Amino acid sequence: MRISTRSRYGTRLMIYLAEKYDKGNVLLKDVAKKECISEKYLSQIVIPLRMVGLISGSRGANGGYTLTRPPSDITIKEIVEALEGDLYLIDCTMDEKTCDRSNVCASKEIWTDLSLKIIEFLNNINLEDLVKVKQKKEMESIEYVI
């Protein structure tokens, strides 16, 4: 299992928006420059994030993107689900009808348990947590240079 670039970049976008929360709209070109991500790619990432209501966008002179809720209320699970789809590792963990062997499969429990642990883990981390981690890393980076 691998998390796609879409989720990695989407999470970076959301952390950036969390840093700017309550400071007005953020332009994608500013995110692209700061995070070293293609603006065109970011424009594709914002679509599903808007569709699930994690961000809102507006046009015009003061246009851009912003979070729809406080950073402490947005989990990484929500972001990854918006960009990847459901987080269950195999289909039969969600729907037994997808596999004829689902009711006798010994390994199904492993994949179900692992899926639930991943979901729980990502659900316990919010954007505010990651903003704090980023700020700490930036401070450590500055201290290292000095």
Q: Is the pTM of this model over 0.85?
A: yes
Q: Which domains are present in the chain?
A: 5-145 (1.10.10.10)
89 — pLDDT class (breaks 50, 70, 90): confident
Model pLDDT, residue 130: 97
143 — pLDDT class (breaks 50, 70, 90): low
Among all chains, which residue has been given the structure tokens 């796609």? 4
Tell me the average pLDDT across 86-99: 76
Q: State yes or no: pLDDT of 146 exceeds 60.
A: no
pLDDT digits (tens, 9 = 90+) for 2-25: 889 999 999 999 999 999 999 999
Torsion of CA 64, 68, 69, 72, to 10 degrees: -50
Report strand pairing: 64-67 vs 55-58.
antiparallel
Q: State yes or no: pLDDT of 82 exceeds 90.
A: yes
